[in-house]
Chain A
Amino acid sequence: MDTTTMNGQQIEVNEEGYMKDPAQWTKEWANQIAAEHEITLTDKHFEVLNWLREKQAEGVSLNIRKVGKSGIVDIKQFYALFPGGPLKVSSKIAGIPKPVSCV
């Protein structure tokens, strides 16, 4: 298992860099992972990230379509906010597991 250190805290990640324990998530984590994807996080990004974290905690199996119906962003805006695979990138930034949905 891999770990990465942020502000002296050990964070467990999988081999693709997804956080293992969503409870370890911080805004710094979000900003750093976003920067690696060349994304500067805005309030809108955080709205989406919080929504994803909430739904994940509720045990919802997430997919892009559900994000599109979240009332926060539509699918087009979601792609624009997180280029390069919106749900994968946003999940990584949100500190939740990699999405497994095919739709």
Chain B
Amino acid sequence: MNETLNKEPVTSNVATPAKKKEDTVKKVVIICSKGTLEDVYAALIMANGALADGRDAKMFFTFFGLDAITTAKADHLHTATVGNPAFMPSMPTMVGGLPGFEKFASYMMQKQMDKLDIPHVTEFIEMIDAGGGEIYACKLAADMFKLEKKDFLPEVKDIITVSDMYALADGEGSHFIFI
């Protein structure tokens, strides 16, 4: 066996100054492909959390994720009450399909989040923008849903291609998160 593998690194014996070692996660690029309330919130919370930590954050919304940055839809996202086994497991699926049920469940969920002081989607996006985060829409998905820049929230910086999205992650310590 190679002895050196079991040895403590030499530096650990030296008293290190109190300064914390530098963070290696410098940037997150968060791709949000879902338009359900909980998925969009996960993306927003992670982006905002990165900024609050002093990290860089870029967001790329694609497919149904575009709903989160579409002015007419952003604050009216739903959570799925059908085909979502984690949602009230004791409730028969058919009940979840009753007219208005999904809207009601989504409303209740939003109310719960209000209590926790979690902002609505549009305000969250304003916060991310104010914190220096950048928000982009996917060109292919925007074309598919016939959406233009004017349909999106004012914080949406641009409609970009996959290639542009990869360029956002340029630099050391950059990470992708896909939702």
Q: Give the chain B neighbours of A65 by CB distance below 8 A.
A: 117, 119, 127
> Separation in Å of the B34 CB from the closest CB of chain A?
19
Total A-B pairs, Cβ < 8 A? 47
B45 touches A103 (CB 8 A): yes
B54 touches A85 (CB 8 A): yes
A75 touches B52 (CB 8 A): no
Please classify how large the interface on chain A is, using the bins under 10, 10 to 19, 20 to 34, 35 or more: 20 to 34
With contact pairs A17-B18, A65-B117, A65-B119 given, residues A102 and B49 touching in the complex (Cβ less than 8 Å): yes
With contact pairs A84-B54, A86-B52, A103-B45 given, residues A68 and B130 touching in the complex (Cβ less than 8 Å): yes
Q: Give the chain A neighbours of B118 by CB distance below 8 A.
A: 103
Task: Please give me the residue from chain A that is nearest to B44 by CB atom.
Answer: A103
Chain B: interface secondary structure?
Answer: loop
B18 touches A74 (CB 8 A): no
Cα A85 to Cα B51 in complex, Å, equals 7
Cα A64 to Cα B131 in complex, Å, equals 10
Cα A34 to Cα B20 in complex, Å, equals 16
- What residues of chain A have their CB less than 8 Å away from a CB belonging to chain B? 2, 16-17, 63-66, 68, 74-76, 79, 83-89, 101-103
- What residues of chain B have their CB less than 8 Å away from a CB belonging to chain A? 18, 20, 45, 48-49, 51-54, 116-119, 126-127, 130-132
